[in-house]
Amino acid sequence: MPVLVELFTSEGCSDCPPADVLLAKIDATQPISGAQAIVLSEHVTYWNHQGWSDPFSLDAMTERQEQYVQRFGLDSSYTPQMVVDGTEQFVGSNARSLVDAVEKQIKVPKKSVMIEHAQWENGAVQFSIHADAPAGTKLVAVLAANSTHSEVARGENAGRTLHHTAVVRVLKEFNVDVADGRALKLAAGPLAEKNQEKVPVRLVVFLADRKTGHVLGAAEQILQQ
């Protein structure tokens, strides 16, 4: 059963590396029976003024986390934060909370989401999706660098080499009527920049309820640039 695990993180946050390691571990080992953990590292921008500008941070990730802050009734954003299927949030380094949340979500019926076709073409990903998409949902498509690393020179993690998994570089929302097999396109954006390593890229797609943000189904495919 696919379960989406989002980690809001920053290279400027000294509490974040253990959460980065936990996300990488669950991705690599898939330790929860019956669950396919589809993971995303979402680097936020609000740590960038504290000595180190995270090269993977995006305003879109800060905005996405703020939506969760409002939905969960939190006082403010924080890192590291994990969100599982848009339904539960907790401190991102808490392995027990992660396991509990994933085990809970595999018991929830999911909608079918299938990536039928995906390939690189002229600096973009061309793809098509078939999904059992009910009214009131949206289709979210993400391109994430399979793995990245940084030599952090300043800030709370100065002197450390940090490794990240499934780092979101592009996120786009679609109306669900496109999940009928028609051709779709995602511009590669930061993944196409000359100084970016040609690492494998994950295409992650998921259905989300427009009101609650709950993830109703998800799928992923790894592509070579």
DSSP 71-134: HHT-SS--SSEEEETTTEEEETT-HHHHHHHHHHHTTS----EEEEEEEEETTEEEEEEEE---
Distances (CA, A) of 25 to 11, 82, 116, 187: 18, 14, 28, 29
Task: Return d(Cα 162, Cα 155) in angstroms, integer.
Answer: 13
Query: What pLDDT does 224 receive?
Result: 81
The amino acid occupying position 98 is L
Q: Structural domains in the chain?
A: 2-105 (3.40.30.10), 113-141+170-223 (2.60.40.10)
DSSP 49: T
Query: What pLDDT does 193 receive?
Result: 52
Query: What pLDDT does 194 receive?
Result: 42
Choose among 219, 210, 220: nearest CA to 67.
210
pLDDT tens digits for range 56-67: 999 999 999 999
Query: What pLDDT does 198 receive?
Result: 67
- Other beta carbons within 10 angstroms of residue 41's beta carbon come to 28
What is the dihedral angle through the alpha carbons of 93, 222, 146, 212, rounded to the nearest 10 degrees?
-40
pLDDT tens digits for range 5-54: 999 999 999 999 999 999 999 999 999 999 999 999 999 999 999 999 99
